[in-house]
Structure 1
Amino acid sequence: MPYKILLKSRLYMLLAATAIASAITNPVPTLAAAGTNATDAPAKNGIRITMNGKEFQAKSAPFVDHGTIYLPLRDVGELLGTLVSWNGSAKTVTMNYPDLKVKLEYGSLQAMVNGKQFSLNAPLRMVDGRLFVPLRFFSEATGADVKWEDSIKTVNITKEDDFIKAQPWSSVWLNRKTSDLYMARDEQSPAIHVGKLDTEIQGDVSFHDGLNQGGNTVLTIVDHYGDSRSHYDVYGLLIRGNKIVAQKKANYEKRYEPNTTYFQVYDPNGWIEYTVLTDGKIVTIFNNQGKVVKEYDLPKLSGTDDVFSVLAVGEDYLVVRPNQSGLLTLIDLKDHSTVVLADKLLTGKDLEYARNHKDPYPGDTLSYAGDMGHGVLDFYYASPFNGKEQRSVRLTYERPSYEDERKALPKGRSIKELASVCTPKTISSIEMQDGDMMYVPLIGANEKDKDSIRTVCSILQKFAAKGVEETLPYDSPQTFFHGMYVNFTEGESISMYQYGGKLALGSAFGGKTMILDDHQSVQDFNRLKVVPTSTFQPNPVHIGKKVHFKGNIGGYKESEPLIISWAPDLNKYSSQDPDRSLVIFTGTMKFGSYDVQFTMPAYGKAADGKMKLLQPGKGTIKISNGSYGNVESTSIELLPESK
């Protein structure tokens, strides 16, 4: 059989200035020197910290030094629900929170609070390589009340916080009482008010992290409430330019699955990306400019008056789950048919269970896996009869609307047939990856890759000669593919991956698989993985001096654009900027390889086409072709023009 795969009323406003000044300048004994490195860590005196009566478990023990209680910076952020960061190059600490921005420099007894300067009595401390900060100052800056009980060595913090924050590292805050939403671009950027939900929060809130796609950010907020906790209000928000520009609310009973928020469609000029929101009845599609381009009426298309979870959207299909039946359903927009997938993919007791069980909710346990092309859709299925065994199997459904197209496809060749014709001339490309690590591809048209391609062909020939078919356990990979795609010029593709100390053909989902037990082939397979490289000299570099860039980011064309851009560190740019990168050089690459020299300019081209001044300091050089593939980054320091 051919083993192939087709690719394709706020309670936490800032304290009044007088209150903050009082909090900062209350006389307490302090260190003689500000912000000094401590070679000996102060004694950890068994100090406890409580927040609203609940004990807080710090990652590192707090300590008292000259009457000041210190806590690690990251623990302070988690404790207070703020976003904190340490900029090692600038030696600054920032804390961001709705309507609050605090900034301190290491070694200084001054702090900036919302742009106003205040004096400190307690400095930052560095102990055993970990940054500790004064707990009282940061706490009171957020409106918290701090009391110290010396008899039991306990810090009691009281904070009437209406803000909900998903995780300690999250940059999203939702006000439970007012439904106002704030977001920060990153740890060092302020929390910006982006809008508010159109309704009130009723229960426990969870967030699904925002998807950033083009200029669109999608954030999903789930309000889980009710006596039996069976109600889900799901808010989908489209955010552009730091403002909510569209929001949808869907209501589900008993069962909630995250709705898809994104899909892409292939075009010869590149993939076209779309953003998706739904209210459970209407699916709304937005383009990269945030404009509505299409809507689908799910009750009308399915003939079912219900609310739906939307698990997948394609160019001509939707995969949805009606809330009442719970049965995963395909809406085929090509032939206007509706298919209950359990009826096509399950049998026996699995189908009976999907059709008849009601507890804890009705329906099947099918989930969408992916679009394999030519009307072929894959799904995961975890049988309720597997007991403790939670592995999923991968099931395939071939849409009847594509039957004629599939019949017209060239018949897939066997591994023996492919191996017999495998040469650099018959290979278009060989792509290799380990999860999200993409290696430099091999290109049939690249003379330098021919020997490596012959090595891959030799491995395929060994598969054909002594490969053995085995049945591997079904598995649902938890990460991206780890392996190799061999793409032939006639359109066929075959995938290969390492299975233990052997090689296997296929997509690593299990089932019938051809295995090659050959030590040399495994060595060759791993030797072909080449990490994209980028070197830059000199570093640091002065504006106006010559620089030399050399490397290979991996490319598919003999000639393609080379774009080199400079981006300053985060503390050097405004969070309002859509893109902080400035293009400083353009040229050409040959199959992703480049070797260029030029004079470091004083200006670069911004995303809006305007020339902007490069700000000296630490930052990042990025190298790309401007459209697809790897992007290599190198940290550099840019110095002023020497005189």
Structure 2
Amino acid sequence: MKMKQFYMFTLAVLLTVGVPDWSGGTSWEAEAAASTAANVPPAAENDIATVPASSAIQADAVQRVQMSHADLAWVPLFASREADQSAIAKTANFVNRLLKNAKPSTEQLVGEDAFFTTSVDVMLTDGTDIYLQFKDSKHVLIHIGEDNYIAQDATALKEFYELLAVSPQTDVSTLKPTIGQTVRIKGSDASNYEGTVRIFVETSGSSGGYMTAKGVDYPSKRALLVHTAPYSEARYDFQFTMPAYGEAIDGTFKPIAPGT
């Protein structure tokens, strides 16, 4: 899997939290859709710099580190965060250890094998992507631009798991918001460096993704947008007052009424 494709699959993240019955007895859900906006446009495939397997990278050249497994994501590391500097330095050491022992390879993981493998994406400040796929507990496929390598390391996967934290569930101050009540939402599971978190309220029932003429993703045609907030470094922490009205998918404002 090339990194350009990898990012296309992660351009939108839906954060869903349940909201139990309102006073009218109707089950409601509040859904937070993180509409992502990458801070750095992905480089064209032919423009990605290549790094020989024998070359070492410096910690200060790492811009971001992202780890995932199927639909499970870990909290990304960013060079802009002082708290991430130690983990980024360890990541650079891991990558250098793998590159030192890497050999050219034509092996590729496709389909379910690619989806269910643990992967680590190390993005450098010069636009280089070093993409690691853990074939098993000992072998790592390394993709750098058009160059592919394989390395054997029995402890690398375990060390990455210890280094990066799984994104926790979104923390919501109350699951039974009433109109006029202050609600606080906190999380660290957005998929990009910065973007917008959107909070929706909708009646229970089947849902599907819909996009407005303005390019805003709605979780269903019944959903009402009640709040938007920015996020940065894949993290968000904000509060808002639960309104009496929300914006519908057609741009009109409709009342949030229990029992409807």
| Same fold? TM cut 0.5 | yes
In structure 2, the partner of 1:496 is: 132
1:476 aligned to which of 103, 106, 110: 110
Identify if the C-alpha distance between structure 1 residues 464 and 607 changes in structure 2 by more than 3 Å, giving closer, same or farther: same
Q: Does 1:546 align with 2:182?
A: yes
Q: CA deviation at 1:429?
A: 2.1
Identify if the C-alpha distance between structure 1 residues 472 and 532 changes in structure 2 by more than 3 Å, giving closer, same or farther: farther
Q: Does 1:373 align with 2:45?
A: yes
Work out whether residues 567 and 581 of structure 1, in 8 Å CA contact, stay in contact via their aligned partners in 2. Answer: yes
Work out whether residues 494 and 505 of structure 1, in 8 Å CA contact, stay in contact via their aligned partners in 2. Answer: no
Identify if the C-alpha distance between structure 1 residues 443 and 516 changes in structure 2 by more than 3 Å, giving closer, same or farther: same
- Alignment map for 1:95-494 (pairs within 5 Å): 373-374=45-46, 412-417=50-55, 420-423=56-59, 425-465=60-100, 467-469=101-103, 476-478=110-112, 480-481=114-115, 482=117, 483-494=119-130
State the distance in 2 between where 1:546 and 1:432 align. Answer: 34
Question: Quick one: percent identity of the two aligned structures?
Answer: 21
Q: Does 1:615 align with 2:251?
A: no
Identify if the C-alpha distance between structure 1 residues 536 and 447 changes in structure 2 by more than 3 Å, giving closer, same or farther: same
Q: CA deviation at 1:569?
A: 0.8
Partner amino acid, structure 2, of 1:505? L
In structure 1, the partner of 2:157 is: 522
Identify if the C-alpha distance between structure 1 residues 427 and 411 changes in structure 2 by more than 3 Å, giving closer, same or farther: closer
Identify if the C-alpha distance between structure 1 residues 585 and 513 changes in structure 2 by more than 3 Å, giving closer, same or farther: same
TM-score w.r.t. structure 2 length?
0.66
Work out whether residues 140 and 150 of structure 2, in 8 Å CA contact, stay in contact via their aligned partners in 1. Answer: yes
Q: CA deviation at 1:555?
A: 5.0
Identify if the C-alpha distance between structure 1 residues 538 and 563 changes in structure 2 by more than 3 Å, giving closer, same or farther: same
Q: CA deviation at 1:459?
A: 0.4
- Which one has a larger percent strand, Structure 1 or Structure 2? 1
**1:409-434 residue CA offsets vs partner (Å, 9 max, x unmatched):** 576221332xx3331x3122222221
State the distance in 2 between where 1:470 and 1:269 align. Answer: 29
**1:117-170 residue CA offsets vs partner (Å, 9 max, x unmatched):** xxxxxxxxxxxxxxxxxxxxxxxxxxxxxxxxxxxxxxxxxxxxxxxxxxxxxx
Work out whether residues 455 and 524 of structure 1, in 8 Å CA contact, stay in contact via their aligned partners in 2. Answer: no
Partner amino acid, structure 2, of 1:7? K
Ranked by relative contact order (alpha carbons within 8 Å, sequence separation 6 or more), the top structure is 2
State the distance in 2 between where 1:410 and 1:596 align. Answer: 37
State the distance in 1 between where 2:41 and 2:107 align. Answer: 36
Provide the secondary structure at the position in 2 that maps to 1:421: coil
State the distance in 2 between where 1:571 and 1:464 align. Answer: 48
Identify if the C-alpha distance between structure 1 residues 434 and 448 changes in structure 2 by more than 3 Å, giving closer, same or farther: same
Provide the secondary structure at the position in 2 that maps to 1:540: coil
In structure 2, the partner of 1:7 is: 4
In structure 1, the partner of 2:243 is: 601
Identify if the C-alpha distance between structure 1 residues 616 and 552 changes in structure 2 by more than 3 Å, giving closer, same or farther: farther
Work out whether residues 560 and 591 of structure 1, in 8 Å CA contact, stay in contact via their aligned partners in 2. Answer: no
State the distance in 2 between where 1:476 and 1:555 align. Answer: 23
Structure 1 vs Structure 2 CA RMSD: 3.7
Q: CA deviation at 1:446?
A: 2.6
Q: Does 1:569 align with 2:204?
A: yes
State the distance in 2 between where 1:612 and 1:460 align. Answer: 53
Work out whether residues 131 and 142 of structure 2, in 8 Å CA contact, stay in contact via their aligned partners in 1. Answer: yes
Work out whether residues 436 and 480 of structure 1, in 8 Å CA contact, stay in contact via their aligned partners in 2. Answer: no
Partner amino acid, structure 2, of 1:531? S
Partner amino acid, structure 2, of 1:582? L
Identify if the C-alpha distance between structure 1 residues 270 and 604 changes in structure 2 by more than 3 Å, giving closer, same or farther: farther
Work out whether residues 62 and 122 of structure 2, in 8 Å CA contact, stay in contact via their aligned partners in 1. Answer: yes
State the distance in 1 between where 2:206 and 2:157 align. Answer: 46
State the distance in 2 between where 1:612 and 1:449 align. Answer: 43
Partner amino acid, structure 2, of 1:607? I
Q: CA deviation at 1:447?
A: 2.5
Identify if the C-alpha distance between structure 1 residues 583 and 270 changes in structure 2 by more than 3 Å, giving closer, same or farther: farther
Provide the secondary structure at the position in 2 that maps to 1:541: coil
TM-score w.r.t. structure 1 length?
0.29
State the distance in 2 between where 1:446 and 1:456 align. Answer: 15
Identify if the C-alpha distance between structure 1 residues 455 and 270 changes in structure 2 by more than 3 Å, giving closer, same or farther: closer
State the distance in 1 between where 2:238 and 2:108 align. Answer: 49
Work out whether residues 442 and 449 of structure 1, in 8 Å CA contact, stay in contact via their aligned partners in 2. Answer: yes
Q: CA deviation at 1:564?
A: 1.7
**1:74-93 residue CA offsets vs partner (Å, 9 max, x unmatched):** xxxxxxxxxxxxxxx99xxx
Identify if the C-alpha distance between structure 1 residues 373 and 595 changes in structure 2 by more than 3 Å, giving closer, same or farther: closer
Identify if the C-alpha distance between structure 1 residues 475 and 461 changes in structure 2 by more than 3 Å, giving closer, same or farther: closer
Work out whether residues 6 and 492 of structure 1, in 8 Å CA contact, stay in contact via their aligned partners in 2. Answer: no
Work out whether residues 53 and 149 of structure 2, in 8 Å CA contact, stay in contact via their aligned partners in 1. Answer: no
State the distance in 1 between where 2:63 and 2:124 align. Answer: 5
